[in-house]
């Protein structure tokens, strides 16, 4: 059941817990909350949330679960906050190629969830081969493209598109999608 806040409940400052220490993920979460709730004031706290899935999730369901687990971990540690954000990047094999994407999970203080998924893009064979050997996507990109900490900067999507699409661009819409139940709570009551 989707529970909404009382119309009489007034918060001068809402707290958002972001389940990441990655500056790209932190920045985009701040940007999206400000964009979606322009009349609200937020304070943001980062938390090194655990995903309880593999270091490199290998399917859409595993990646989505990782995002939800990060959101749940944020709520477990910071139970009095208003929103809890989990972001998880994953890959999925289709034939002989990996495809990359991310899942976002946002939970409110009442236990309501919203989810969003990024677009999906093909990874080069050289990156896919390293993932098959046990490397995480960001490390595989660092090796193939001679980068350093690409996962904390432009990510695979930035490298592959010459930064026409940045990692922030990739995550932006998915985070907005995850906020839809909170933007339109009257449509998501059960």
Report angle CA 174, 180, 184 to the nearest 5 degrees: 170
The residues with which 113 forms a beta bridge, in sequence order, are 107
pTM assigned to the model: 0.90
What are the C-alpha distances in Å from 127 to residues 11, 139, 166? 46, 9, 18
Residue with tokens 């119309």: 7
Asked if 184 and 112 touch (Cβ cutoff 8 Å), the reply is no
pLDDT, block means (10 residues), the chain with 190 residues: 48 89 95 96 96 95 98 97 97 92 97 97 95 94 91 92 95 98 87
Is residue 155 within 8 A of residue 170, CB to CB? The reply is yes
Kindly calculate the radius of gyration of the chain based on its CA atoms and give it in whole angstroms.
Answer: 17
The secondary structure of residue 53, as a DSSP letter, is S
User: What confidence tens digit (pLDDT) does each residue in 87-127 have?
Assistant: 999 999 988 889 999 999 999 999 999 999 999 999 999 99
| Coil/strand/helix, residue 41 | coil
The Cα-based distances of 157 to 36, 64, 137, 178 in angstroms read: 24, 19, 11, 20
> What was the pLDDT predicted at 8?
46
Q: Which residues, other chains included, contact 119 with Cβ-Cβ below 8 Å and sequence gap of 6+?
A: 101, 170, 173
pLDDT score, position 189: 74
Distance, in Å, from the CA atom of 110 to the CA atom of 102, rounded to the nearest integer, reads 24
**Residue 70 to residue 84: CA distance in whole angstroms:** 8
Q: What tokens appear for 43 in the block?
A: 């304070």
């Amino acid at each position: 059941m989707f529970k909404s806040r009382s119309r009489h409940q007034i918060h001068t400052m809402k707290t958002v817990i972001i389940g990441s220490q990655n500056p790209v993920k932190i920045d985009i979460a701040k940007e999206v909350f400000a964009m979606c709730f322009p009349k609200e004031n937020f304070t943001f706290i980062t938390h090194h949330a655990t995903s309880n899935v593999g270091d490199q999730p290998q399917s859409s369901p595993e990646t989505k679960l990782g995002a939800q687990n990060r959101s749940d971990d944020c709520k477990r540690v910071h139970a009095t906050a208003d929103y809890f954000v989990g972001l998880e990047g994953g890959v999925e094999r289709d034939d002989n190629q990996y495809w990359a994407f991310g899942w976002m999970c946002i939970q409110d203080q009442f236990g309501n969830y919203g989810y969003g998924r990024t677009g999906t893009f093909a990874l080069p064979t050289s990156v896919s081969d390293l993932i098959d050997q046990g490397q995480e996507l960001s490390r595989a990109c660092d090796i193939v493209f001679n980068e350093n900490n690409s996962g904390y900067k432009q990510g695979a999507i930035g490298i592959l598109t010459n930064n026409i699409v940045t990692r922030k661009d990739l995550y932006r819409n998915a985070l907005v999608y995850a906020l839809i139940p909170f933007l339109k709570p009257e449509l998501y009551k059960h």
